[in-house]
Amino acid sequence: MRTIDTTATSECASVAHEGVGKAGSARAVATMNCDRIARVYRTAEYLSFGGSLQACRVMYLGAVSNCRRALVCGDGDGRFLAELLRTNRGVRADFVDLSARMAGLARRRVESIGADAAARTRFHIGDLRECKDSENAGYDLITAHFFLDCFADAEIASVARRLASFARPGATLLLSDFRIPPRGGARYIAAAIVRGLYVGFRVATGLRVNRLPDYELALERAGFHKGDETLKLGGLLATSLWRKA
């Protein structure tokens, strides 16, 4: 990953924001580019879902208050990161996102909290799968809010294994994402909403994924086990706590 924090020491491969991976490649690089929507993303999110997505992100903050090393994956403009730093004064966080503009917004948000929060955070721009910093294996908290839905079924297994490689035994994975209920009328409504979101993100960011991957199965195979889970908006949104074996 390319870092924008001059104090960071990770040695990771720099990656382009546009498509450089090939279909079917286990190491395909994510192709979405959120730079162009960075400044309007928060407004668009609230117009679409009110405060529901942010409520999902922060729902289990109390359950991870004892964590001390956090890997924050794809947090965009950093609203979850800021709340994590506010509520947990002992945590140190590595923030990873493909978008330089999103990371810039996140950094300014953290700096507005104070010098202590800024000193506890490192910002990295790049694809999580390209990071080669073995020193980072040992996080006791990994967060992936609305992040795993950006990967295709062919990619999600490698992403889950990468997350597992960063986690120490017993680490917590805090996950929020969209979900299609298994049955009932809510299933059809949720499926239509998710399809619409993928179409919108394809136009706005170049995201090539068009359906939710089976990220739960991939996480289980990577050694994570789901504990608590909370559903919102009729099951469209799910927030869950996972443990690394």
CA 73 – CA 201 distance, rounded (Å): 18
Higher pLDDT, 183 or 145: 145
Average pLDDT over residues 143-152: 96
31 pLDDT higher than 70: no
For position 60, what pLDDT does the model report? Answer: 98
CA 55 – CA 69 distance, rounded (Å): 22
Is residue 12 very low, low, confident or very high in pLDDT (cuts 50, 70, 90)? very low
59 pLDDT higher than 90: yes
For position 27, what pLDDT does the model report? Answer: 42
CA 58 – CA 146 distance, rounded (Å): 13
Bridge-partner residues for 231, per DSSP?
Answer: 238
The bridge status of strand 224-232 relative to strand 237-244 is antiparallel
Is residue 33 very low, low, confident or very high in pLDDT (cuts 50, 70, 90)? confident
Supply the DSSP symbol for 24.
T
For position 178, what pLDDT does the model report? Answer: 97
pTM of the model: 0.87
181 pLDDT higher than 80: yes
